[in-house]
Structure 1
Amino acid sequence: MSQAPQSAACTVVTGASNGIGRSIAEALLAQGRTVVNLDYVLPSWSHERLVSYQADLTSAESTQAAAEKIAAAHNVTALVNNAGATRPGTIDTATSAQLDDVVGLHLRAPMLLVQAFLPTLRACGEGRIVNMSSRAALGKGERIVYSATKAGLIGMTRTLAMELGRDRITVNAIGPGPIATELFKNSNPDGAPQTQRILNSIAVGRMGTPEDVARAALFFLSPDNGFVTGQVLYVCGGTTLGVAPV
């Protein structure tokens, strides 16, 4: 695995091997940035400015070890906590093991990564953190552990924004709605009644794409947007309309 020099500013994107994370990474690379991907699988794609590390982000030990390696080798000036998992289930079927997994992935891993990269995020004078929440944070059937942790990530986002604002680090969240990824398709098969209900709820009349979310991430990650922090942007095609915001 090749490594970028310590002096080169880079953006860490978790879960960039596939899906939304890959689209965010590709958008950043198109802007000329260096991207560090942290995922449980290595990507099938490559780029001269993409460096990938493999880790199980549901494990505190694996996350901490990877974070220390990245912090030692790279000048991290931006972080996108994108990696996620749905773990579908109602209160009748959800398990404590599922809860442990998504707490580790959606809450503990972001916290550990922010802590590991704080020195360079602070030193650059325009650090950026983007956390991937979900429209499900507002409530979604059969997503008890997923919605709980994605709502928790919004709370973490707002608190980090308050704590790190004086360091000129902005912290914002994105709440994707129905996005046509493999993760979505696995939970919402084509032709299933719940899939059709979701499609019918989209005000703009189409599914979202990973690129839709990537464009929102680029806004928050821009050095020009240092006066926007602690916010949640729902990239949802209007599915949150009429729902009280968090």
Structure 2
Amino acid sequence: MQPRVLVTGASSGIGLAVAERLVADGYAVTSFDVQAPARDVAGVAHVQVDLRDAAQTREAVAELVRAGEVLRLVNNAGIVQPASVADTTPESLQAVAALNVQAPLLLLQGLLPDMQARGFGRVVNVSSRAALGKPLRTAYAASKAGLLGMTRSWALELAAHGITVNAIGPGPIATELFQRVNPPGAPQTQRILDTIPLARMGEPAEVAHAIASLLDDRAGFITGQVLYVCGGMTVGLGNAA
């Protein structure tokens, strides 16, 4: 029987690349997303659910586990509401946190009994390089930094049950959404490229590869860690004058 994995936000972008990679690796993938998939992928079951809604989220994950155990979770879904610190509202902070922080907690709670019973689990939370700080990202950076704090706390709490919890911090990734906002050749796109030591954008498949490696059975001695898939941006510009 194929091992099952839950991936949130797998209808497009990084999440879709993750789903495709995991199917290729032999997993049966379920996607929780409020949007319809950009394309159908054999082996991926799409469940439409608004993960900002706590009741919907709890019911969706309960229905999932009624069909069989799910021992792997990728919390990828997220939203950004850019605003200056002066313009960030409590409502915006709450809306971003509902998806970026609350939903990962509720989903893990729903899957946790089976993971603990098995003495095995893999959780990968998709944070962001913005957790280190980025202008106009007060709510988003706070939520992604919070997700890193939860990652480390969960890793410590769940290690005795054979459950590992890690995080990925993507840098600029060439998703369709990113390229719509930052077209190839545009001045703002070049400014971004100038900050990346590898001098290119990352590909969704490269983030998917990092996530897949942390979900593997053989990754059992890695927990509480953050892996930045950022082309070296978190290190700094090593070739800067």
Q: Which moved more, 1:92-101 or 1:223-232?
A: 92-101
Per the TM alignment, residue 90 of structure 1 is displaced from its structure 2 partner at its CA by: 1.1
8 A contact 1:9–1:74 mirrored in 2 = no
Alignment of 1:34-183 (within 5 A): 34-183=28-177
Deviation at 1:156, TM superposition (A): 0.2
The question of 1:23 aligning with 2:17 is answered yes
Q: Secondary structure at the match of 2:217?
A: coil
- What's the CA shift for 1:189? 5.3
Please point out which of 196, 203, 211 is paired with 2:197: 203
The Cα of 1:57 is off from its aligned counterpart by 1.1
Kept after mapping to 2: 8 A contact 1:126/1:223? no
CA positional deviation for 1:89: 1.1
Q: For this pair of structures, how many residues does the alignment match?
A: 237
Please give the secondary structure, in 1, of the residue aligned with 2:169: strand
Distance in 2 of aligned mates of 1:161 and 1:10: 21
Structure 1 stretches of 4+ moved >3 Å: 185-195
Q: TM-score, normalised by structure 1?
A: 0.91
Once the two structures are superposed, the pairs formed by residues 181-192 of structure 1 within 5 Å of their partners are 181-185=175-179, 187-188=181-182
Determine if contact 2:96/2:140 at 8 Å carries over to the other structure: yes
The 1:219/1:29 distance shift into structure 2, 3 A limit, reads same
Query: Unmatched 5+ residue regions in structure 1?
Result: 1-6
Letter in 1 for 2:219: N
Per the TM alignment, residue 139 of structure 1 is displaced from its structure 2 partner at its CA by 0.4
CA distance, structure 2, for counterparts of residue 164 and residue 88 of structure 1: 34
Distance 2:3 2:131 in 1: 32
3-state DSSP of counterpart to 2:64:
helix
Q: How far apart, in 1, do the equivalents of 2:41 and 2:131 lie?
A: 34
Aligned AA for 1:129? V
Q: Percent identity?
A: 51
Provide the secondary structure at the position in 2 that maps to 1:86. Answer: coil
Q: Equivalents in 2 of 1:150, 1:185: separation in Å?
A: 22
The code of the aligned residue for 2:160 comes to: R
Q: Give the drift of 1:8.
A: 5.2
Render the CA deviation track for 1:128-176: whole Å, top value 9, x for unaligned: 0000000000001111111110000000000000000000000000000
Distance in 2 between the 1:189 and 1:145 partners? 25
